[in-house]
Amino acid sequence: MPRGFFERYLPKADSIRERSLLRPIRHLLHEPALWRLHRASVGNACFVGMFCAFLPVPGQTVVAVAIALAVRCNLPIVLALVQVTNPITVPPVFFFAYRLGAWLLDVEVAFSEFELSWDWFQGSLRHLWQPLLLGSLICGWVSGVTLMLTARVLWRLHVIRRWRERRARRSDRAAA
């Protein structure tokens, strides 16, 4: 995973620090570890971002930033990956998580007629929260670990390829 790829597409540290919403934690954003691109930082950021993307709570981004600050992993990658669950993808993702949790808990999948109201939400939540939470945590854990390991392996393979290319160039120069 070339560092240039991430540097090209991720926002710069200064542009994130200057956001008005981040004013209360701006002093924490001067930590250099939050902006470094290396195998461990990117891998950990992949885990944190994907895990938090599956949390069935409002404010996933706030949770993800808090965890990223605590474990000091790459903040822009965490922020990008948390957006995997957005208003378009939330219904199918959480429906799958609910079905997985219901299957694991051996609970019957029961859906009453959907109605966009607070009463329906309160009435359904006590039946839905346990399977949804379990399914979401498992989906977040599995996707986070998978992406973290994939990022670390791809990064390592890229480094090995670069070493071999460098060694070949040196041997070509020595032979010439």
Average pLDDT for the chain: 83
- Name the token pair of 16: 């994130």
- Model pLDDT, residue 106: 86
- Name the token pair of 44: 């950990």
Strand runs labelled E in the chain: none
Chain Cα centroid distance, residue 108: 30
Give the separation between CA 125 and CA 132, rounded to whole angstroms. Answer: 10
Above 70 in pLDDT, residue 23?
Answer: no
Instruction: Measure Cα distances from 116 to 16, 49, 92 in Å.
Output: 35, 29, 17
pLDDT band for position 86 (50/70/90)? confident
- Model pLDDT, residue 148: 95
- Model pLDDT, residue 81: 92
DSSP state of 12: P
- Model pLDDT, residue 128: 82
Query: Tell me: the pLDDT tens digits for 39-63?
Result: 888 899 999 999 999 999 888 988 9
Torsion over CA: 99, 103, 106, 109 (sign): positive
> How many structural domains does the chain have?
1
Question: Which structural domain range is residue 118 located in?
Answer: 3-175
Least confident of 45-54, 106-115, 132-141: 106-115
| DSSP state letters, 34-82 | GT--SHHHHHHHHHHHHHHHT--SS-HHHHHHHHHHHHT--HHHHHHHH
Instruction: Measure Cα distances from 87 to 21, 83, 92, 98 in Å.
Output: 21, 9, 10, 17
pLDDT band for position 117 (50/70/90)? low
